[in-house]
Amino acid sequence: MSSSSARVSTCVVWFRRDLRLNDNPALLAACRHHARIIPLYIHAPDEDGDAAPGGAGRWWLHHALTALDASLRARSGYLVVRRGPARQTLLELCRDAGADAVYWNRVYDPDGVSGERLVASALGEAGIATESFNAALLHEPWEIATGKGEPYRVFTPFWKAARAAGGPAVPVAAPDVFSVAARPASLAVGELGLLPARNWGQGFAQDGRPGEQGALEALGRFMDEAVGAYPQQRDIPALKGTSRLSPHLCFGEIGPRQIWQACRTVSVHAGVDAFERQLYWREFAHHLLYHFPHTAREPLDPRFARFPWREAGADAEAWRHGRTGFPIVDAGMRELWQTGWMHNRVRMLAASLLTKHLLLPWQLGAAWFRDTLLDGDLACNSLGWQWTAGCGADAAPFFRVFNPVTQGERFDADGGYVRRWLPELAALPARYLHRPWEAPAPVLAAAGIRLGHDYPWPCVDLKEGRVRALVAWESIRQS
């Protein structure tokens, strides 16, 4: 494109999982190289496939889009909202608005990658210029490779190689004012029907505010108040020892470069190092999904295609709704339902109980998490579940079976977490809080608890469940 044509050209900026103005390279490039822009969001959940947000995520998306539109309006802009399919929508908008270019920031899930190729091909055939950028990762998935040029399957070597590759590009600020074309026809965000129809979601905003400003506030709060104690407090679910940035990252309200840059400004090295490691764990998740796209639904370890999973039944429903009889797991599942968030330590315990003790397939748990988590990122969710189930990259050995009782006693020693989310157990002494079935009858009576009525008996014997899981593992281990 010549400089003369660029001065009079119009560029559509296609927003997807990059719902921010700062450190948005597609938006910045469009403003630099084109006279006018048209910011666009296309709602096309069928095309997003497994990466489409679930019920809780759609609640967040509604508010994130509303916040993005407000931010654009504050800079003399607007957000056009339309329904898909993406190719047809972009072609029609470019034709009607006289736009001769479309810019976007890349996504790395299987459906997103294939969709981008189809869009680029269709627009190219129509004579419309396209360009895509990296806004979601510190490094592109193809930039970090083993000495043989292959993708990594183990985190620690990946982490070392990624850090050795150097720091990411410095994040850039948003333009103060946007030069926009006349606003085309647009839906209101509310017309997308993203908010839950049933009475669900009142607690979703209690620990975070959707939108770019909410993301920046969460980052600043974490860096000011919690990063120094992060290594000691990140595993304690009753404390606010983590950043709570995951929903903001999931929808691109903040980028990893911004977080990485913020880490350079604090001097608490132990806390920053531990926190940055988690940032690279997210990178690893997207690295894996990009190179092994089948892992959104299938195990990376092919032996687990023959694993003798049980059929889901009443125990699966008990797990979903926090009625397993294991307090630390039930507290987490109820926190998840009420707030759309669950502490990472508790996510591992809930996943271990489902896949190991109950011997139910990891895909069942991943689907529930993806629908009920505000941060239901496909790459991170798939990696986390396969790690716990023992069938993915860098997976926990299958014989590592988390005991929800001892884990609860270790990481919720005073019971603050369980008492908050399981009020029916609040009066139980700490000695029995994580093993109420062992409490003597007088202790239960004094606490107002009737097992099997006020709180369930355990849905599985932990010793028997562990043995059953190990027998199942032996059946495929040598195959």
Q: Strands 101-105 and 80-83: what pairing?
A: unpaired
Q: State how far the Cα of 181 lies from the Cα of 170, in Å rounded to an integer.
A: 29
Tens place of pLDDT per residue across the chain (479 aa): 433 344 469 999 999 999 999 999 999 999 999 999 999 999 999 999 999 999 999 999 999 999 999 999 999 999 999 999 999 999 999 999 999 999 999 999 999 999 999 999 999 999 999 999 999 999 999 999 999 999 999 999 999 999 999 999 999 999 998 999 999 999 999 999 999 988 788 889 877 899 999 999 999 999 999 999 999 999 999 999 999 999 999 999 999 999 999 999 987 788 999 999 999 999 999 999 999 999 999 999 999 999 999 999 999 999 999 999 999 999 999 999 999 999 999 999 999 999 999 999 999 999 999 999 999 999 999 999 999 999 998 766 777 899 999 999 999 999 999 999 999 999 999 999 999 999 999 999 999 999 999 999 999 999 999 999 999 999 998 76
For residue 12, what is the enclosing H or E element? strand 10-15
All structural domains of the chain? 8-134 (3.40.50.620), 137-171+212-291 (1.25.40.80), 302-477 (1.10.579.10)
Cα separation, 274 vs 285, whole angstroms:
17
- Alpha carbons 435 and 433: distance in angstroms, whole number: 6
Fill in the DSSP letter of residue 206. Answer: S
Helices (H), ranges, 267-361: 269-291, 314-320, 327-339, 344-352
Spell out the residues 6+ positions from residue 178 whose beta carbon is closer than 8 angstroms to its own: 31, 37, 39, 72, 75, 76, 77
- Through-space distance between the first and last CA atoms of the chain, rounded to whole angstroms: 57
Q: Determine contact, residues 319/355, Cβ cutoff 8 Å.
A: no
- Of 326, 325, 327, 324, the closest CA to residue 422 belongs to 327
For 378-387, b where at least 16 C-beta lie within 10 A, e where not — what string? Answer: bbbbbbbbbb
